[in-house]
Structure formats: structure tokens, C-alpha cells
């Protein structure tokens, strides 16, 4: 039986002309070290007025038992329910240029139909470029510039960002499949993964969000201020340095990462760490034992 992708989404008929616009994509549920992608989305939604222009049917797409929504119980009754939402929002940058954000829980079901629905929305609105973004854990210190790995449907879209020098097989994500399907359809799509230090992967790390936003701005030409994110990154850096200085064991590990990072970066003749030398870096498990207490002291708001 043929399935209609338009059955998955309800579209606002009052959407203005968006020809040539950009669609930013970030889903909850996949890898997002340092909550880097989530912080970018939150920053943009707080900074710019926005409204929903398309809403997907989460009852068809989400497995509630694998990601149970939150309900609040008060004394003798259920008081509230946090309804999951997967939607597209319309925003305008500082210069008044429209752009879109697709955000919400990553679909568990009907991936191909969902992607067909997204492509139909792109055609309807004249979207020229899709840009996705998230954070990945890396064996690198927070005291060095964060790297960004980029991939795209055309080499020209990658620019001067780092690329993986080898072939990898990894678990699929809806974001990766969307980019792959868009490439098959000769549509432009680019993805960015900010390199987040292993030991900060479990806490909010706004420095990674700043790095992602900078990559998005360069790729899209949108005027997206990052002042508040940079201030949050500055405060986070101060707190991280304080906690590192209070633990000789943690400081030793950070210094060891710095030495290895600098050695490999110098040998490679590049300003930041590439994946071809990551196998020589401490693993996440090795770092985890020494940073267990450090991470336990972290708070999401830090």
C-alpha cells in the first residue's frame, strides 16, 4: 500500500515566500556531546521570534516506551504532561533573512517516509540548503581550539573544515540518512560535528555551540549573533579551569592530552587534531575513570 508522506505533517498555509531559504536540522536522541547542537537551537529560538510552520505526527514517529515523556504528579492527581513535539519553525536573522529550524525527538519509525515529507517541504518552500549540527566526543583537551568535522553532498560545501581520512561504518541516524538521500537527489546538504573533549561530553559545553554556530554562519551566510553563547562559554571555561586546578589527577590528564594534541597537530601541520591520530589518544574508558568525580560535580547549567 502506497503511503503519502504528506499524511505525516500538517503545514501552515499562511507561510510566506521562503524561496532560497536554509533549513537547520537538529534532533534529540542521537549523539550530541556537550549538548552542542541543543545549545545552538535553544540560543536561536531565544534570540529570534519564531513560529511553527509545520508539525509532524509524533504518534506515528515516536516510540513512547523507549523515550517516555515526562508527567508531573501533584499530591493526588496528574497535573501536567510534556507533549513531545517535532516541528519546523520559521525565524528571521538580524538582517531579516528567513530561515527554518527542524527540531524535536529523532523519529523511531518510518524514516524513509519522514525524509520524503521533509523533501516535500523543501520543494514547497524552495529550501536551497540543509545544515545539520551536533557534538561528538574527542580525545582532545578543552584548552585547545575545538575542531569541526564536516561532510556534505558536494565537496565544495565542506570548505576548509576537517574530514575523516578513512572509511567508517557507524550506526545510522535520521540526520545522516536525510543528508544521504538529499545527495542522491542532487540537493545541497552539509553536516557539522564539533569535537567536544571526552571528559565534558556529559555536560553542557557552550564553547562547542559557538564553534557550530560559526560553521553554520559561514555555510549559510545568515547573520546570527553569538554574544550570549560566547559569554556562557567564557563562564563555563572559568568553572572548568577552577575544577581542573583543584584536582592534581585531573590536571595531569589534561596536560597529557595537551602534549599529545600539540605533538600530533605539529606533525600533521594542521591547527587542530585530526581523526587519523585519534587511535593514539586515551580512550573514553581510560579518561572516564580519572574524570568520574570531575563529571559528577558538573551541573547542566555549568
pLDDT digits (tens, 9 = 90+) for 91-134: 999 999 999 999 999 999 999 999 999 999 999 999 999 999 99
pLDDT-derived band at 289, boundaries 50, 70, 90: low
Report whether pLDDT(297) > 70: no
Please report the sign of the dihedral spanned by the C-alpha atoms of residue 58, residue 46, residue 203, residue 73: negative
Mean pLDDT of the chain: 89
φ, ψ for residue 155 (rounded to 5)?
-55, -35
Note the pLDDT of residue 42. Answer: 98
> Which comes out higher in pLDDT, residue 162 or 184?
184
Residue 281 has pLDDT above 70, yes or no: no
pTM comes to: 0.86
Which three-class secondary structure state does DSSP give residue 158?
Answer: helix
How large is the average pLDDT for residues 75-103? 97
Measure the N-to-C terminal CA separation of the chain; round to a whole number of Å: 51
**pLDDT tens figures, 2-12:** 789 999 999 99
| Bigger pLDDT: 278 vs 48 | 48
At residue 167, the pLDDT reads 85
pLDDT tier for residue 274 given thresholds of 50, 70 and 90: very low
Between the ranges 165-169, 246-250, 261-265, where is the mean pLDDT highest?
A: 246-250
Residue 235's H or E segment, with its range, is helix 227-245
In the predicted structure, residue 287 carries a pLDDT above the cut 60: no
Q: In whole angstroms, what is the distance from residue 130 CA to residue 269 CA?
A: 31
d(CA 144, CA 271): 10
pLDDT at 57 over 50: yes
Nearest to 163 by CA among 148, 179, 184: 148
Task: Please report the pLDDT score of residue 279 as a whole number.
Answer: 46
CB 88 within 8 A of CB 101: yes
Kindly report, residue by residue over 150-181, the tens digit of the pLDDT: 999 999 999 887 777 678 888 999 999 999 99
> Is pLDDT above 70 for 31?
yes
pLDDT digits (tens, 9 = 90+) for 192-229: 999 999 989 999 999 999 999 999 999 999 999 999 99
What is the reported pLDDT for 34? 96
**pLDDT reported for residue 11:** 97
Confidence at residue 278, expressed as pLDDT on a 0 to 100 scale: 45
Read off the pLDDT of each residue in 65-80 and give the average, rounded to a whole number. 96
Amino acid at each position: 500500500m502506497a503511503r503519502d508522506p504528506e499524511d505525516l505533517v500538517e503545514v501552515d498555509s499562511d507561510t510566506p515566500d521562503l524561496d532560497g531559504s536554509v533549513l537547520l536540522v537538529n534532533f534529540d536522541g542521537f549523539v550530541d556531546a556537550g549538548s552542542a547542537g541543543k545549545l545552538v537551537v535553544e540560543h536561536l529560538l531565544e534570540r529570534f521570534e519564531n513560529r511553527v510552520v509545520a508539525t509532524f505526527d509524533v504518534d506515528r514517529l515516536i516510540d513512547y516506551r523507549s523515550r517516555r515523556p515526562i508527567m508531573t504528579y501533584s499530591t493526588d492527581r496528574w497535573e501536567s504532561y510534556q507533549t513531545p513535539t517535532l516541528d519546523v519553525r520559521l525565524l528571521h536573522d538580524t538582517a531579516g533573512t528567513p530561515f527554518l529550524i527542524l527540531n524535536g525527538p529523532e523519529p523511531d519509525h518510518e524514516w524513509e517516509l519522514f525524509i520524503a515529507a521533509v523533501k516535500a517541504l523543501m520543494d514547497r518552500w524552495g529550501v536551497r540548503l540543509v545544515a545539520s549540527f551536533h557534538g561528538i566526543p574527542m580525545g582532545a583537551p578543552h584548552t585547545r581550539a575545538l575542531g569541526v568535522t564536516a561532510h556534505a553532498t558536494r565537496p565544495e560545501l565542506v570548505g576548509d573544515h576537517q574530514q575523516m581520512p578513512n572509511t567508517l561504518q557507524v550506526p545510522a541516524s535520521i540526520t545522516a540518512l536525510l543528508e544521504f538521500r538529499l545527495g542522491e537527489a542532487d540537493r545541497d546538504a552539509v553536516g557539522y560535528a564539533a569535537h567536544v573533549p571526552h571528559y565534558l561530553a556529559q555536560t553542557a559545553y557552550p564553547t562547542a555551540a559557538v564553534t557550530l554556530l560559526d560553521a553554520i554562519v559561514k555555510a549559510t551566510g545568515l547573520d546570527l549573533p553569538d554574544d550570549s553563547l560566547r559569554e556562557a562559554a567564557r563562564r563555563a571555561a572559568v568553572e572548568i579551569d577552577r575544577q581542573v586546578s583543584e584536582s592534581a589527577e585531573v590536571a595531569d590528564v589534561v596536560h597529557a592530552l595537551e602534549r599529545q594534541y600539540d605533538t600530533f597537530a605539529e606533525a600533521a601541520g594542521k591547527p587542530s587534531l585530526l581523526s587519523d591520530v585519534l587511535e593514539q589518544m586515551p580512550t573514553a574508558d581510560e579518561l572516564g575513570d580519572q574524570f568520574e568525580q570531575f563529571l559528577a560535580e558538573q551541573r547542566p547549567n555549568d
